Amino acid sequence: MLIENVSVVIIASNAEAKLRECLDSLRDFSEVIVYENNSTDKTVEIAQNYKNVKLTSGAFLGFGKTKNLAASLSANEWVLSLDSDEVLDENFVNSLKKMDLKSDTVYKIYRVNFYKDSQVKHCWGDETIVRLYNKSETSFANKDVHEHVLEDRLDTKLLQGVVKHYPYNTITDFITKLDRYSTLFAQNNAGEKSSSPTKAFFNGVYSFIKTYIFKQGFLDGHVGLVIAFSHMATNFYKYMKLYELNEELKSSKDSK
């Protein structure tokens, strides 16, 4: 039995590492929208091999805006927003088939995080996130990073089953993403938030201590060290980049 009333919406860029596994888990959905952005790997080729996938290419406008744009392409009012590195388990799909969805409710997924194929139990831990919603009732906040579904005045309910999340497959993935996210943060907050080298340093140090000590990331082995260091570097660089952008804005104003 196909799921006819819910469209899965995915934005993807150079997502070949887990995209095939992601799309395999979505075979019971009649419509899967893959919004691809400037991929240079096999993302497009993989997506084209699935009959239920509608592939489109477009610009990346920041995570929130891009996810809303991709959702606007869906035929259904109900949207299940997934990342290209997330995989649904069978229980999730089967339970969704039986659900009577209510438009005044948004639905959370239960997500388990992995590095490569090892579950990360401490640094990240398991989490619940709103991902299924009626697009006539709500949408993602138009934020470049840390986007989320707006849930004001709406009820929330947790879906059954598990979504497995594989955000990083190599240490290089950490480096690439921290550069991207720190740049987006700085661009999104330039001229509005203050920063300094001191703020960047202490935010970085605190992020490492929080992840590795307070969250007991050391129990995740060498992966915990990699993640804690990545959190430290992300926070250090996002505030340093913000500091430099603010200085450039000041210089530009002073020169006028």
pLDDT tens digits for 112-144? Answer: 999 998 999 999 989 999 999 999 999 999 888
Nearest-angstrom CA–CA distance, 109 and 127 = 8
Residue 256 lies in a domain: no
The domain tally of the chain equals 2
Residue 91 lies in a domain: yes
Nearest-angstrom CA–CA distance, 206 and 80 = 35
Residue with tokens 């996210």: 181
Do 21 and 148 belong together in one domain?
yes
Q: What is the pLDDT of residue 252?
A: 83
Do 31 and 145 belong together in one domain?
yes
Residue 95 lies in a domain: yes
Do 118 and 223 belong together in one domain?
no
Do 101 and 120 belong together in one domain?
yes
Do 32 and 139 belong together in one domain?
yes
Q: Which residues pair with 78 in a beta bridge?
A: 6, 134
Q: What is the pLDDT of residue 253?
A: 80
H/E run at residue 106: strand 105-115
Domain hosting 221: range is 170-251
Q: What is the pLDDT of residue 99?
A: 94
Domain boundary among 126, 147, 167: 167
Q: What is the pLDDT of residue 1?
A: 79
Do 145 and 190 belong together in one domain?
no
Residue 51 lies in a domain: yes
- In the structure, how many helices (H) and strands (E) does the chain have? 7, 10
Residue 240 lies in a domain: yes
Do 86 and 193 belong together in one domain?
no
Nearest-angstrom CA–CA distance, 54 and 37 = 14
Do 113 and 231 belong together in one domain?
no
Domain boundary among 146, 167, 188: 167
Domain boundary among 167, 182, 205: 167
Do 148 and 208 belong together in one domain?
no
Residue 83 lies in a domain: yes
Three-state DSSP state, 3: strand
Do 48 and 74 belong together in one domain?
yes
Residue with tokens 């995915």: 10
Do 90 and 162 belong together in one domain?
yes
Q: Which residues of the chain have pLDDT under 70?
A: 256
Residue 191 lies in a domain: yes
Nearest-angstrom CA–CA distance, 127 and 129 = 7
Do 16 and 92 belong together in one domain?
yes
Q: What is the pLDDT of residue 204?
A: 97
